[in-house]
Structure 1
Amino acid sequence: MLPGARGAALYECRIAHVRTSPVRHAFTHRTFLWLVDLDHLPVLPWPLSLLASFQTRDHGGRPGPSPRGDLECYLAGEGIDLRGGRVLMLAHARSFGYVFNPLTVYWCHDHTGRPVCTVAEVHNTYGGGHRYLLRPDGRGRAETAKEFYVSPFFPVDGRYRMALPEPGERLDLTVHLEREGGRPFTAIVHGTRRTATAARLLLAAARHPFSTWAVSAHIRLQGIRLWLRGLPVHPRPTDSSHQKVSAS
């Protein structure tokens, strides 16, 4: 087990994006994600710290002593007090000085261990982010209105239908975008759990070198391909109501 990483896990993942309208386009890529307890974040010795570190500015970005403190400030603004309950976070770690998380998920419990809420933190390639507070059912399913500009090929409208069950041996997440007339976009994440050890981290980094850089580059490459296919671009909204919750 890595230092400080009580209960931490690595998930070797396959991520698929499927677009069905106005053109059909699909791609997959492989990476690895961390599942960590915000009260027991891994603190890796050098040189392993080059491969993974967890910083408040990467997971929220508001002033605060820790990712846990940042999330609690957000939840307090929504009238939620976990009373010290456990929070699990699924995300990329900062690696070689860079991090990009298209989606960070927080599973929040109260002091008795009861699930209270799930927070889906969405980031775009323009340096911004937005948190969605979800109240999932027993299977991790929830809906919410889309409120944040992500892809330049979709306006800020429609609804997300998400299935974000808390991961165990398997990680299975699904996010559908629903707009009038159909479901034009779906993202799927499947992964297999591995205990977070130094050996496992080195193996995952070898299989997916510069993984968080690769995710960012892959998304931009797919955007260029869609633009070259003539897909119209929707300008970014000019209002600043969406908080900037991450920086890279």
Structure 2
Amino acid sequence: MEALWLLCSIITTFFTSLTLSVLLILRTLFTRNSFYTISSSSNAVFLYEGTVWHERRRPVHHSFWYSVRYALFDLDHTPHAPPDHLSADDARQVAKTIGPVFLLTIPPSVGYEQNPLSLYYCYDMDGSARLLKKCIAEVTNTPWGERVMFVFEPNSDLVAKPLHVSPFMDMLGNWSIKANDPTDSLSVFISVQHPELGDYFVASLKAKRLSSASDHAMFFWLMPHKVALWIYLHALRLWWKNVHIIQHPRYTNPRYREEALIRDMKLKCNQALEWDKDKCWQADGHHTTKLADRKRWFKWRDAKWPWH
């Protein structure tokens, strides 16, 4: 049933995107101001172009890269922010910051959206200067469409894996993640630390800011489709290399989300400078706080029919 639905979804997306692509090209040819165009003079949307790199080291070696295009939205000022994401106020509430919020994501294109990772950059203010304080990761898996959001320290953080992002990875790994302040260039690095396989997977995004693009719809044309194509293509290549397929944990361990929360709290205990193994207390200035009361914020979105 699920395989049939996936096939039908791919076929439907193909014809929808084909139709909208033809309309987009015609609109671009015959009108100067496309319905999809965001003015290149806007200072609320910044365009980036770069490379995504994936490397799996064990149990077999497999690596690939592809070029990618992203948009960085100033969520306080843009009227064209993509739907299905947090607002600036929502992100500030989650990150407990007071400054601007920027969203790095791939906008939908001709009826299709594919974003394995979107990032919110949440700032505090020091006078007139803004300081990157927190990031919020928004991870969506393929093909299930489940999503998890969590807050992390941008300079470096370790997060217990909270989502089944690949049928070739179990849930035992931890994500080591860091991201820089996006200016003329941006970078995001993620590695998976596994109790048996070690640091067996690395992914990175490196991109440069572009000066302008007259038509954002043409700039991002078929970009989400390209990302999906690489995901499915390399899943097939891993299967061909006899990498073991792991069933989604909702079928074998319905409490996997709760267990991820517990593992993440243990990670925070281990990262504390002064802590008690039994009680997991940390010295914080003049106070002593139980880390269980400061657990990381996670929010999950369930898969849609027929994956749930």
Tell me by how many angstroms 1:42 deviates. 4.9
- The SS at the match of 2:301 is coil
Give the distance between the partners of 2:227 and 2:137, measured in 1 at CA.
18
* Matches for 1:87-126 after TM superposition, within 5 Å: 87-112=101-126, 113-125=130-142, 126=144
Give the distance between the partners of 1:102 and 1:18, measured in 2 at CA.
16
Residue of structure 2 equivalent to 1:64: none
More relative contact order in 1 or in 2 (CA 8 Å, sep 6+)? 1
**1:225 maps to 2:229:** no
Query: Relative to 1, partners in 2 of residues 1:245 and 1:210: Cα closer, same or farther, differing over 3 Å?
Result: farther
**1:189 maps to 2:201:** no
Which letter maps to 1:243?
W
Name the TM-score, length of structure 1 as normaliser. Answer: 0.78
Query: Relative to 1, partners in 2 of residues 1:69 and 1:115: Cα closer, same or farther, differing over 3 Å?
Result: same
Counting matched residue pairs gives 217
Give the distance between the partners of 2:77 and 2:41, measured in 1 at CA.
6
- The SS at the match of 2:159 is strand
Paired residues of 2:91 and 2:122 also in contact (CA < 8 A): no
Residue of structure 2 equivalent to 1:2: 39
* Matches for 1:28-177 after TM superposition, within 5 Å: 28-43=65-80, 54-55=82-83, 57=84, 59=85, 67-72=87-92, 75=94, 80-83=95-98, 85-112=99-126, 113-125=130-142, 126-136=144-154, 140-177=155-192
Paired residues of 1:89 and 1:107 also in contact (CA < 8 A): yes
Paired residues of 1:2 and 1:42 also in contact (CA < 8 A): no
Paired residues of 1:174 and 1:189 also in contact (CA < 8 A): yes
Tell me by how many angstroms 1:210 deviates. 0.3
Which letter maps to 1:228?
W
Which letter maps to 1:97?
G
Q: In structure 1, list runs of 5 or more residues that go unmatched.
A: 44-52, 61-66
Worse overlay, 22-31 or 105-114: 105-114
Which letter maps to 1:39?
D
Tell me by how many angstroms 1:72 deviates. 4.6
- The SS at the match of 1:223 is helix
Tell me by how many angstroms 1:37 deviates. 0.8
- The higher radius of gyration belongs to 2
Tell me by how many angstroms 1:203 deviates. 6.5
- The SS at the match of 1:198 is coil
Which letter maps to 1:192?
K
Give the distance between the partners of 1:179 and 1:186, measured in 2 at CA.
12
Which letter maps to 1:213?
H
Give the distance between the partners of 1:121 and 1:210, measured in 2 at CA.
21
Query: Relative to 1, partners in 2 of residues 1:70 and 1:96: Cα closer, same or farther, differing over 3 Å?
Result: farther
Give the distance between the partners of 1:9 and 1:36, measured in 2 at CA.
7
Tell me by how many angstroms 1:82 deviates. 2.7
Tell me by how many angstroms 1:117 deviates. 1.1
Tell me by how many angstroms 1:233 deviates. 1.0
Paired residues of 1:16 and 1:26 also in contact (CA < 8 A): yes
Tell me by how many angstroms 1:110 deviates. 2.9
Name the TM-score, length of structure 2 as normaliser. Answer: 0.64
Which letter maps to 1:54?
P
Which letter maps to 2:245?
V
Q: In structure 2, list runs of 5 or more residues that go unmatched.
A: 1-37, 258-298
Query: Relative to 1, partners in 2 of residues 1:39 and 1:197: Cα closer, same or farther, differing over 3 Å?
Result: farther
Identity of aligned residues (%): 26
Paired residues of 1:123 and 1:129 also in contact (CA < 8 A): yes
